[in-house]
C-alpha cells in the first residue's frame, strides 16, 4: 500500500491506473477505523481493480463545540488495518492540502432541504461540510465507484444528491450497517462510551425495532410512535435529539400509506452522540 499526503502524489497514482484502464474504487473515511470501515473496503473490491481509502478528519463538518479535536486519530493503526485489507493507496492529507484557503474561506457545496432536517437541524452546516469534502474527493480521485455506510443514512442521501446534481460519474454504493454482536451500530464515537453506557447503548437499535414493529398496524399513528420511542430512550438514560419516521427515499415525514420508510434516531449517551436507523417496507 502506498500512503500519500499530497494531491500531486494522489493524482500520480490514480492517473497511472486510469491510463491502464483500471476501475478505481474510493472509500472516504475520517479514520478511527473499525470493522465497518473495513467492510466498505471489501465492498469496493467487489467492483474495483484499485481501491483508494482516504483518512481526513474534515474540519468543515464539525460545528463549534463539537468533537473535532477529540476525534480519534491514529494514522499508523488505520494504515495497518487498510494495508491488511489490501487497499492500494491511502490518501491522508493535511487540512491545507484539502482547503488551501482555509476551511472557513473555502467554496462549499450545499444541498438545500435535506441538509437542514434531522441531524442537520441539530448540527447546522454539518452536511455542507460533508457534501463539500466528498465533492472534492470525487474531483481529486475521479473514482468509478465510492462506498459509504448506511448507518449515516442522511449523509448517504446527501451524497447521492450531490452526485446527481453535480453530474459526478460515480456509482455511489451504500452498505448496510455493520453491528456489534449485541446490535450496537459500529461507530468511531462508540469509544466515547463508559462501560456502563456501552452496556445500555444497544437499546437504541432495540427501540427502533420496537417502533418499526408497529408501523404496519392499521391506524398506526407515526407521531405518537415517535413520542413513545423518545420517552423510551429517555427512560434508558439517553438524551434524544430526535426519533423520526420518514420516507426512505427523500427523508420527508412519513404519512399513512407510505410503503418504504426508515425510522431514524440520534441520541446522546454520556458524551457520545449515537445515530442509528432501521429501514422498513410495507
Indicate the pairing of strand 145-149 with strand 171-175.
Answer: parallel
Confirm or reject binding of residue 28 to ligand PAF (CB under 6 A): yes
Confirm or reject binding of residue 277 to ligand PAF (CB under 6 A): no
One character per residue 32-71, x = contact with ligand PAF (rule: CB under 6 A):
--------------------------x--x----------
Residue 236 CB, shortest distance to ligand PAF, in Å, is 26
Confirm or reject binding of residue 30 to ligand PAF (CB under 6 A): yes
Q: Which is nearer to ligand PAF, 29 or 205 (CB)?
A: 29
Q: Which is nearer to ligand PAF, 132 or 211 (CB)?
A: 132
Residue 259 CB, shortest distance to ligand PAF, in Å, is 28
Q: Residue 100: CB partners within 8 Å, gap ≥ 6?
A: none
Instruction: List C-alpha distances in Å: 198 to 93, 94, 181, 192.
Output: 32, 32, 12, 9
* 121: nearest Cα among 169, 161, 63, 175: 63
Residue 156 CB, shortest distance to ligand PAF, in Å, is 9
Enumerate residues 103-142 that contact ligand PAF by CB under 6 A: 130, 133-134
Residue 80 CB, shortest distance to ligand PAF, in Å, is 19
Stretch binding ligand PAF (CB under 6 A), from 15-23, 25-33, 238-246, 253-261 = 25-33
Torsion sign over Cα 44, 170, 138, 16: positive
Residue 26 CB, shortest distance to ligand PAF, in Å, is 10
* 141: nearest Cα among 26, 278, 258: 26
Burial of 169 (0-12, 13-18, 19+ CB in 10 A): exposed
Cell of 2: 502506498
Phi, psi of 216 (to 5 degrees): -85, -5
Q: Which is nearer to ligand PAF, 31 or 232 (CB)?
A: 31
Q: Which is nearer to ligand PAF, 152 or 197 (CB)?
A: 152
> Which of helix, strand or coil describes residue 181?
coil
Confirm or reject binding of residue 226 to ligand PAF (CB under 6 A): no
Measured CA to CA, the distance from residue 38 to residue 54 in angstroms comes to: 12
Single out the residue of 4, 14, 24, 29 in contact with ligand PAF (rule: CB under 6 A): 29
Provide the annotated active-site residues: 37
Strand partners, 171: 145
Residue of minimal CB distance from ligand PAF?
Answer: 28
Residues listed for the chain: 282
* 188: nearest Cα among 55, 85, 91, 24: 55
Stretch binding ligand PAF (CB under 6 A), from 26-34, 82-90, 113-121, 252-260 = 26-34
Which residue ranges make up the site for ligand PAF (CB under 6 A)?
28-30, 58, 61, 130, 133-134, 152, 155
Amino acid at each position: 500500500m502506498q500512503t500519500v499526503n499530497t494531491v500531486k502524489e494522489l493524482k500520480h497514482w490514480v492517473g497511472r491506473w486510469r491510463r491502464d484502464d483500471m476501475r478505481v474504487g474510493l472509500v472516504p473515511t475520517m479514520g478511527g477505523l473499525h470493522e465497518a470501515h473495513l467492510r466498505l473496503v471489501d465492498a469496493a473490491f467487489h467492483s474495483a481493480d484499485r481501491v483508494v481509502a482516504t483518512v481526513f478528519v474534515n474540519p468543515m463538518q464539525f460545528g463549534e463545540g463539537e468533537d473535532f479535536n477529540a476525534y480519534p486519530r491514529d494514522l499508523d493503526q488505520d494504515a495497518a488495518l487498510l494495508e491488511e485489507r489490501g487497499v492500494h493507496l491511502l490518501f491522508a492529507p493535511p487540512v491545507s492540502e484539502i482547503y488551501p484557503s482555509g476551511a472557513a474561506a473555502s467554496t462549499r457545496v450545499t444541498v438545500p432541504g435535506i441538509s437542514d432536517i434531522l441531524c442537520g437541524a441539530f448540527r447546522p452546516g454539518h452536511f455542507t461540510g460533508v457534501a463539500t469534502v466528498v465533492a472534492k474527493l470525487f474531483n481529486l480521485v475521479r473514482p468509478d465507484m465510492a462506498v459509504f455506510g448506511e448507518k449515516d443514512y442522511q449523509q448517504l442521501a446527501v451524497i447521492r444528491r450531490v452526485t446527481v446534481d453535480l453530474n459526478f460519474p460515480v456509482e455511489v454504493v451504500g452498505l448496510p450497517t455493520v453491528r456489534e454482536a449485541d446490535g450496537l451500530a459500529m461507530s468511531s464515537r462508540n469509544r466515547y462510551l463508559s462501560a456502563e453506557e456501552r452496556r445500555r447503548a444497544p437499546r437504541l437499535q432495540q427501540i427502533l425495532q420496537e417502533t418499526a414493529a408497529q408501523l404496519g398496524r392499521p391506524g398506526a399513528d407515526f407521531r405518537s410512535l415517535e413520542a413513545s420511542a423518545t420517552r423510551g430512550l429517555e427512560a434508558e438514560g439517553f438524551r434524544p435529539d430526535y426519533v423520526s419516521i420518514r420516507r426512505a427515499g427523500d427523508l420527508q415525514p412519513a404519512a399513512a400509506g407510505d410503503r418504504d420508510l426508515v425510522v431514524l434516531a440520534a441520541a446522546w449517551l454520556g458524551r457520545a452522540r449515537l445515530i442509528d436507523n432501521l429501514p422498513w417496507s410495507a
